[in-house]
Amino acid sequence: MAYNNQPKPDDRSDNAEKIQSMIQDTTENIQKAEESMQFTDSEQQRQQIEAKNQRRRESIESFQAELQDET
């Protein structure tokens, strides 16, 4: 039995749209997290949210650099 496995062609035509969507989703997550901080009294939880949002901001910077490469 012979297998004829062929790789799928590399289609990057919609990469810019996908990256832009990821930037938008991550920005929304930052805003939701900041809103949720108003309802917590836990300093530990507040610090965790701030740390996660910082990582999200760094991701957005990476996405923006990748978006520039795509356009």
Per-residue HEC secondary structure of 6-34 comes to: CCCCCCCCCHHHHHHHHHHHHHHHHHHHH
Higher pLDDT, 68 or 71: 68
- Check residue 27 and give its pLDDT: 98
Is 38 in a helix, a strand, or coil? Answer: coil
Higher pLDDT, 41 or 71: 41
Query: Does this model's pTM top 0.75?
Result: yes
Rounded (5°) CA angle 60-12-9: 140
| Chain segment 11-70, per-residue pLDDT in tens | 777 889 999 999 999 999 999 999 999 998 899 999 999 999 999 999 999 999 999 988
Higher pLDDT, 50 or 3: 50
Q: Could you give the C-alpha distances from 49 to 31, 44, 68, in angstroms and in order?
A: 11, 9, 29
